[in-house]
Amino acid sequence: MEENFDKYMGNLRSDMEKVLEQVRALLPKYAELKAKSKLTDEEQKVLGDIEYVLIEASPYIEEIRNLIKRDLFGNSLDYYYHTKSKAQDGNIKAKEELDRLRKFLMNDFFEKDEIMN
């Protein structure tokens, strides 16, 4: 994947933009149909189709979100313990970085209860 990383990232961005564009296109129609008090049979079908697509997409979006969150948290923990080890060995810059990490990164995760969600 490293050889084609830029191409891969470009394709990923393009695909994500397409998904976002499609969801953005559906939401106004969905809101319009939900606001109506009476729907024709065709409108009812369209509303059902939109709801189905949104419900079907939701688990995929949530899985992507959770994967990214877990991976970022795991990398942050790895970096934290690597920096802590350097600080314990007497590295002053690592000690300063460790203090910064404790203040901002770790407190943020624990305060928001991001670890368990």
- The pLDDT, as a whole number, for residue 1 is 54
CB 94 within 8 A of CB 83: yes
Q: Which residue has the tokens 């060995």?
A: 89
Q: Any long-range contacts for 70-76 (C-beta under 8 Å, 24+ apart)?
A: 73/109, 73/114, 73/115, 76/105, 76/109
Three-point CA angle 65, 113, 20, nearest 5°: 20
53-76 pLDDT, tens digit each: 999 999 999 998 888 888 877 787
Q: Note the pLDDT of residue 107.
A: 62
pLDDT tens string 3-30: 788 888 899 999 999 999 999 999 999 9
pLDDT digits (tens, 9 = 90+) for 40-49: 999 999 999 9
Decide: residue 98, CB within 10 A, 0-12 exposed, 13-18 middle, 19+ buried: buried
pLDDT, tens only, 86-109: 999 999 999 998 888 888 765 666
Q: Would you state the structure tokens that stand for residue 34, as one six-digit string?
A: 């939900």
pLDDT over 50 (residue 117)? no
Q: What is the pLDDT of residue 6?
A: 86
| Whether pLDDT at 113 is above 60 | no
At residue 116, the pLDDT reads 42
